[in-house]
Chains A and B, each alone.
Chain A
Amino acid sequence: MLRRCLAAFPAVTAAVFIVPVVIGLIGTWLPAFGYLPALGAERLTWAHWEYLLTHPSVPTAARHTLISAWGSTLLSLLAALTLLALTWRSRTLRWLRRSLSGLLAIPHAAFAIGIVALLAPSGWLIKLASPALTGWELPPIFSLVRDPWAISLMFVLALKETPFIIFMTLAALQQLQVGRSLQMGRSLGYTEFMAWRRIILPQLLPLLRLPLFAVLAYGVSVVDLALIVGPSAPSTLAVLVDRWFNHPDILRRLPGSAGATLLLVLTVLSLGLWWLLEKLWLRLSRPHWDSGQRRSALHWLARPAEGLSLLLIGSALAAFMVLVVWSFAFRWGFPDPLPQSWTLRFWERGWTRLQQPFWLTLWTGLAAAVIGLVLVVGCLEHEVTLRRRRPGFTGPKLFWLIYVPLIVPQIAFLFGIQVVLVWFNLDGNWLALLWSHLMFVVPYLFLSLSGPYRNFDDRYVRQAMLLHGGEWCALSRVKWPMLLRPLCYVTALGFAVSLAQYLPTLYVGSGRFATLTTETVSIAGGGDRRLVGVYALTQWLLPMLIYSLALLVPAWCFRHRRGMRLQ
């Protein structure tokens, strides 16, 4: 009975999350070609494409999008791999591993606001250095953020994505026998770094393809982060499209749909190009695998790699600190390193305004995380059944569909979903909002939980069944308690993913739902910095609290069980 129920999970999960994406894409493509009867547009035409392609901002916006997306993906991959290769088995990596959940919990918007508060012309860094080191008595006229080339957006995206790539790389490495392979490589005279390059990397890159696709697609379609730290004249293509979709002139939604479709084309081309480059790299590097070269000229990178991990954690800490200082500041002029006077006034004001968004974010996030967890565990447990039936089975092909919402730009299908929801009078409904968050929560949960779940030694379940009789008992009393740590962890991750959703909340919620993220992003553009600090900190602290609980609950439950401690 249990197994029969589980068999339905993959199909239900895929249908619930994939069908709307397809409908959403169609709902965006039709307006892109002039068909949106609700606006009186019923004739298919290329006019909106012409408008889009001749718009003076589009080429620059597309360039910003490509620079920030490709640059951040390459930088974060390079940073994560170098860091792991050079600090493997070192204290630095152990330290980084422990900080990883904290880094992953940081919402993009809050992180970007913190970075802006650090690096802006009147930011904390320049205040700390002025006038002693810079000689400036007034804020400089140049800016390190919101630069016209989207370089700052690229770096902030890279900083934010590197912990995710490290997390996914560590999960992928569990499938490879890293310790033994490195030992073997070193016994043959290779330096550890070289053994990484020759033995581990060629096996690792294909395993990282999907997370990298997700990062690349996210970089192409990100709106909230680009609004805060990206260029403004013109902005990135995703921001430009978002503005058209929300323009007072409702007919702008038609070229907006064409722009969203163009973003999809750019994403598909980018993913294809990434795949080709990966193949090319493997082909070109293959002749070198057995070249016998045992030392790498790149070994000097060890120190910078350690520095990079410090930069990652340091930038997060500094961004957090500056938000704390701003949220309690009353007067803080340039170039004072600290505020002249402090106040709680902005916390009081902020909390009054944030109460409703806070509770909505909390309940939506918890509901999305728990429902997502049930769906993902159901799918993975069904996979276990299939694997038991067919030894050597690698997982249903259907599971790849779960990742579709991650690799299709959000804005390319959310407008279409909005159109369909309005059509059926379902927009602005909390259940629709929850479902739209689930679309993104489920793939992340699947990505994160599939490793520990698939690596679980199934003999424990069989032993439990032999000893106690029932499969449900084996799962509920043995397997899931043994997996409590990853289960709690991914629940917190699901919560953080739901909390960070900006576009789905705006589009599916039809502007009727205010969450911590939508409020923080909307105030970030022009609000009082002190109030922005309060908003961003609240957005930051809520997932941190949930992550802390996710770490503490299993630690407390298994405080007397050495075998259950984190390795």
Chain B
Amino acid sequence: MALELKQVTVRFDGTQLFEPVSLRVEPGMVTTVMGPSGCGKSTLLAAVVGDLAPVFSLSGDVVLGGQSLLNYPMEQRHIGLLYQDDLLFPHMNVGQNLGFALSAGMPRQERRARIADYLALAGLEGYADRDVASLSGGQRARVSLLRTLMAAPRAVLLDEPFSKLDTALRGQFRDWVFGTLKEGGIPALQVTHDVEDCGDGPVYLLQEGRLA
């Protein structure tokens, strides 16, 4: 299932923030949009996920699996979003954070098994009962991605998710994220201002209101 942006542009107070953007993100690929701070990268992601403030107006279309998303609210688009902060819920342990993303009707045993399987994927076996505050930065980042994946998103948006990790951890985690997304066949759109964070997918540059 591919994610497509068709002539997407955002206006604020009648001013166009960037020229119409068209791109296609293939399943399992990480497409990157690069650009300096304030160029509208995060606004573009907000437009895709459906989180634009009403003062902005969106034109164009966002299509996922051949279906336009524009008429769906944010929570019904089935798009995962990873920020530069992991945003793990501090009042829940690791297992509860992951379980939060599972559907409500799932039996308890199945939930536990699913959580254990996912933790094993990230090399975090036996961490379900751990307090999230006791995890290292890298572990927190992995749990955050796992949580996003557990909600079975049809696409994932990455808002500079590696920028707060230290250099040693960064490359390793980035490869793991891209590998996991590829394995799951999930299209991913990443915005960053760091060239190192680009994967082997297409890279675009958003500068002076134009995508190149």
Residue on A nearest B83 in the bound complex, by CB = A459
A465 within 8 A of B: yes
Taking A482-B89, A484-B91, A560-B93 as contacts, is the C-beta distance between A469 and B131 under 8 angstroms? no
Hey, which chain B residues are within 8 Å of A562, CB to CB? 131, 133-134
Chain A residues near B92 (CB-CB < 8 A): 561
CB < 8 Å neighbour of B91 from A391, A457, A471, A561: A561
B81: chain A residues at CB < 8 Å are 462-463, 466
CB pair A560–B75 under 8 Å, yes or no, is no
Is B76 in the interface zone, CB < 8 Å from A? yes
What are the residues of chain A within 8 A of B83 when measuring CB–CB? Answer: 459, 463
User: Which residue in chain B gives the minimum CB-CB distance to A479?
Assistant: B89
Asked whether any CB of chain A lies closer than 8 Å to the CB of B113, the reply is no
Residue in B51, B54, B75, B153 with the greatest tally of chain A CB atoms within 10 Å = B75
**Restricting to B130-146, which residues have a CB under 8 Å from any CB of A?**
131-134
Let me know if A389 and B53 touch, CB within 8 A: yes
CB-CB nearest in chain B for A388: B53
In the bound assembly, the distance between CA atoms of A183 and B92 in angstroms comes to 34
Interface string of B78-92 (1 = CB under 8 A from A): 011101010101111
Q: Which residue of A has the minimal Cβ distance to B151? A: A467
What CA separation (Å) do A562 and B90 show in the bound complex?
Answer: 8
Measured between alpha carbons, how far is A473 from B32 in the docked complex, in Å? 32
CB of B148 within 8 A of CB of A467, answer yes
Interface residues on A, range: 20 to 34
The answer for the CA separation of A182 and B101 in the assembled complex, in Å, is 41
Instruction: Say yes or no for A481: interface residue by CB 8 A criterion.
Output: yes
User: Per-position contact with B for A445-477: 1 when CB-CB < 8 Å, else 0?
Assistant: 000000000000101101111111111000001
| Residues A482 and B87 in contact in the complex (CB < 8 Å), given A466-B75, A467-B101, A469-B76 | no
Check: B41 CB closer than 8 A to any chain A CB: no
Is A469 within 8 A of B75, CB to CB? yes
A466-B93 contact in complex given A390-B55, A459-B87, A562-B134, C-beta closer than 8 Å: no
Contact residue range for chain B? 20 to 34
- In contact, B91 and A558 (Cβ under 8 angstroms): yes
Report if B74 contacts A (CB, 8 A): yes
Task: Judge if B49 is at the interface, Cβ distance under 8 Å.
Answer: yes
Q: Does A248 contact B (CB under 8 A)?
A: no
Q: In the docked arrangement, what's the CA distance between A303 and B81, Å?
A: 52
Q: B101: which A residues are within 8 A, CB to CB?
A: 467-468
**A37 part of interface (Cβ distance < 8 Å):** no
Q: Decide yes or no: A462 and B51 within 8 Å by CB, A467-B101, A482-B90, A561-B91 being known contacts.
A: yes
Q: Considering the complex, give the chain A residue whose CB is closest to the CB of B144.
A: A463
Q: Determine the distance from Cα of A562 to Cα of B140 in the docked complex, in whole angstroms.
A: 14
Q: Hey, which chain A residues are within 8 Å of B93, CB to CB? A: 560-561
What CA separation (Å) do A562 and B92 show in the bound complex?
10
Provide the bound-state CA to CA distance between A470 and B54, in Å: 20
CB-defined contacts of B147 to chain A, threshold 8 Å: 467
Give Cα A389–Cα B53 distance, bound, in whole angstroms: 5
* List of B residues within 8 angstroms of A462 by Cβ: 51, 74, 81
Check A466 against B91 for contact (C-beta < 8 Å).
Answer: no
Shortest beta-carbon distance, B115 to chain A, in Å?
A: 14
Please give me the residue from chain B that is nearest to A471 by CB atom: B75
In the complex, the answer to whether B75 meets A390 with C-beta atoms within 8 Å is no
Decide yes or no whether B176 CB sits under 8 A from chain A. Answer: no
Q: Which residue of B lies closest to A462 (CB)?
A: B51
A410 to B150: give the CA distance in the assembly, Å.
56
Assembled-state Cα–Cα distance A358/B41 (Å): 60
B91 pairs with A481, CB closer than 8 A: yes
Given A470-B75, A560-B131, CB of A482 within 8 Å of CB of B91: yes
Q: Are A466 and B100 in contact (CB under 8 A)?
A: no
Q: Is B53 a contact partner of A390 (Cβ separation < 8 A)?
A: yes
Q: Which residues of A sit under 8 angstroms from B150, Cβ to Cβ?
A: 467
A563 within 8 A of B: yes
Query: What mask results when residues 145 to 180 of chain B are scored 1 for a CB within 8 Å of chain A, else 0?
Result: 001101101000000000000000000000000000
Contact with A along B36-58 (1 / 0, CB 8 A): 00000000000001010111000
17 extra A-B contacts, CB within 8 A, seeds A471-B75, A478-B89: A459-B83, A460-B87, A464-B100, A465-B74, A466-B74, A466-B153, A467-B100, A467-B101, A468-B75, A469-B76, A470-B75, A560-B93, A561-B90, A562-B131, A562-B133, A563-B91, A564-B133
User: 28 A-B Cβ contacts within 8 A?
Assistant: A390-B54, A390-B55, A391-B55, A459-B83, A460-B89, A462-B51, A462-B81, A463-B83, A464-B100, A466-B75, A466-B79, A466-B81, A466-B151, A467-B100, A467-B148, A467-B150, A468-B101, A469-B75, A469-B76, A481-B91, A482-B91, A561-B90, A561-B91, A561-B92, A562-B134, A563-B91, A564-B91, A564-B133
Give A contacts to B, CB under 8 Å: 388-391, 457, 459-460, 462-471, 477-478, 481-482, 484, 557-558, 560-564
Measuring CB to CB, which residues of chain B are less than 8 angstroms from any residue of chain A? 49, 51, 53-55, 74-76, 79-81, 83, 85, 87, 89-93, 100-101, 131-134, 147-148, 150-151, 153
- Which 4 residue pairs of A and B lie closest in terms of their CB atoms, listed nearest first? A563-B90, A562-B133, A563-B133, A467-B101
